[in-house]
Structure formats: C-alpha cells, structure tokens
Amino acid sequence: MASFNTNEEICGYLDKISRLYPSGIPRSLIPKVIPTVAAAQPRCALLYVVEEGAASEQLATLAGAICTKGLRVPLDHCVVRSVVSADIEGEGLAKLVSQVGAAVVVLCGSSLAPGEVAQLGGAVILTSFSLAQVGQNAEVKRQFWDHLKLVIPRIHSLGGV
C-alpha cells in the first residue's frame, strides 16, 4: 500500500480508487488519516451514522448545510463526519468525542433517543434523527430543527459565529 504524507494525498488516492468500488470503498482499504493541526478548536461537530460502506455524497452535503445554514457555523469551525454504529458503541462515543475535540456534538441516527442532551468528556452531546429521515420527512425535519435549537445558544456562546 502507498504511503501518504498529507490528508490531501489520502483524498487524492481515495478519489482515484473510488470508481473501482461503486458500493463504497471498503474500510480496510482506507489508510489511516493523518491528524491535521487545526487553527482553532472546532465549535461543533455533526456526526451522522451510516451503514458500513454506505456514506453518500448527498448525506455529506446535507450535513454540511446543517452546519452552515442551520447552525450558522462556518465549515472550518465544524467537523462533519460519517460514522458507523460500531464506532459509537460502548466507549467508542467517548473516544470519538475526544478525537473530534468540539464543544458541541450533534449525533444523528444513533440508537439513542432523539432530542436528548447530555455531557460527555466536557462536550455537550445532542442526539437526533438520522439525516436520511431529516431529508425525507417534513415532520422529522421540524423536530430535528427543534433539537438543534437546544444547542445553538451553546455554540454561539463560544464566540466568532
């Protein structure tokens, strides 16, 4: 397997091989991501649960729009990431929250009850509906917006938004 020095090189590699895997690139082929040094701690993170290998560009676009339009946080201050259920089971969620380093984490599509707000590792965690549900159902979208309103004041209190 090739060696990568930057995230840009990894993205280029994934772009090259993506055409070979129309159902998604197997996790075993994705090289370990090199941590990047962020200019500032992210204000929020939007993590959305997907089936193994089922991350889609449409869900990523929706997640980005939720950050920029709904939460009114520039993407350079918000982490948007797809996760699989196994990544958030047991101590996985605490580890993920620690890795992300955001003060507010919105977790979409977990088995946890939608609309719940909790503290975990110094971060505020909001659980809500899956992005697929939000994109397809107007009532779920309204409830999702009500959930976001629970953490928006916290995000904005972090300044610069």
Structure tokens at 59: 């869900």
Least confident window among 47-56, 59-68, 86-95, 118-127: 47-56
Query: Do residues 70 and 149 share a domain?
Result: yes
pLDDT at position 121 = 82
Query: Do residues 134 and 73 share a domain?
Result: yes
Q: Domain span at residue 128?
A: 44-156
Query: Do residues 58 and 130 share a domain?
Result: yes
Query: Do residues 60 and 111 share a domain?
Result: yes
Query: Do residues 32 and 53 share a domain?
Result: no
Q: What is the model's pTM? A: 0.70
d(Cα 139, Cα 157) in Å, to the nearest integer? 29
Over residues 4-10, the mean pLDDT reads: 70
Question: Above pLDDT 70, what percent of the chain?
Answer: 81
pLDDT band at 161 (very low <50, low <70, confident <90, very high): very low
H helix or E strand, kind and range, residue 81: strand 78-84
Query: Do residues 54 and 19 share a domain?
Result: no
Over residues 92-111, the mean pLDDT reads: 89
Over residues 107-130, the mean pLDDT reads: 90
Query: Do residues 61 and 137 share a domain?
Result: yes
Question: Above pLDDT 90, what percent of the chain?
Answer: 24
CATH number at 49 reads: 3.40.470.10
Query: Do residues 71 and 148 share a domain?
Result: yes
Query: Do residues 119 and 82 share a domain?
Result: yes
Query: Do residues 33 and 58 share a domain?
Result: no
- Is 161 inside any structural domain? no
- Provide the β-strand partners of residue 48: 82, 108
Cα–Cα nearest to 16, from 6, 2, 28: 2
pLDDT band at 33 (very low <50, low <70, confident <90, very high): low
pLDDT band at 138 (very low <50, low <70, confident <90, very high): very high
For residue range 61-98, list pLDDT tens digits in order. 888 899 899 898 888 888 888 888 888 888 888 888 88
Over residues 113-130, the mean pLDDT reads: 90
Alpha helices in the chain (DSSP H): 7-18, 57-65, 92-100, 131-136, 138-149, 152-156
Residues 6+ apart with CB under 8 A from 104: 43, 44, 45, 123, 124, 126, 151, 154, 155
pLDDT at position 5 = 66
- Provide the β-strand partners of residue 50: 84
Query: Do residues 76 and 134 share a domain?
Result: yes
- Is 72 inside any structural domain? yes
